[in-house]
Amino acid sequence: MPEQANKTIQILNTHTKEQPEALEISSRTDTILTVKRVLTLRGFVQTLERKCQEMQAEIHAFRLKFAALQNRGLPSLLTSSGKLLTDDQYARRVDN
């Protein structure tokens, strides 16, 4: 809703005192600060979502490369029960 937030800020900055009161806005300053805080948090969330998508792409690329190595004979990182091996356990598998 950034369009609404920007519109609200514009209304609060340009209209007379009676107009925000008609919209049940008691404090211009508090409303503007709240709107700006919402916009800032929205920006943070969008950045976080973008970084998560980038990480997912990198994880996918790693999995493809690791699968290619496993097809060449590299041992699996998982135990027979599906749990992740420790460093020592995996090092023993690679040595064998």
- CA proximity to 15, closest of 37, 34, 32, 36: 32
Confidence grade of residue 16 (pLDDT, cut at 50, 70, 90): low
pLDDT band at 21 (very low <50, low <70, confident <90, very high): low
Q: Phi and psi at residue 78, in whole multiples of 5°? A: -110, 150
Identify the residue with better confidence: 94 or 60: 60
- pTM, 2 dp: 0.56
**30 vs 46: CA distance, rounded Å:** 24
Q: Is it the case that residue 25 has pLDDT exceeding 70?
A: no
- Over residues 55-73, the pLDDT tens digits come to 999 999 999 998 998 899 8
| Domain map (residue ranges) of the chain | 2-95
Given pLDDT bands bounded at 50, 70 and 90, which one contains residue 94?
confident
Looking at the DSSP bridge assignments, the partners of residue 84 are 78
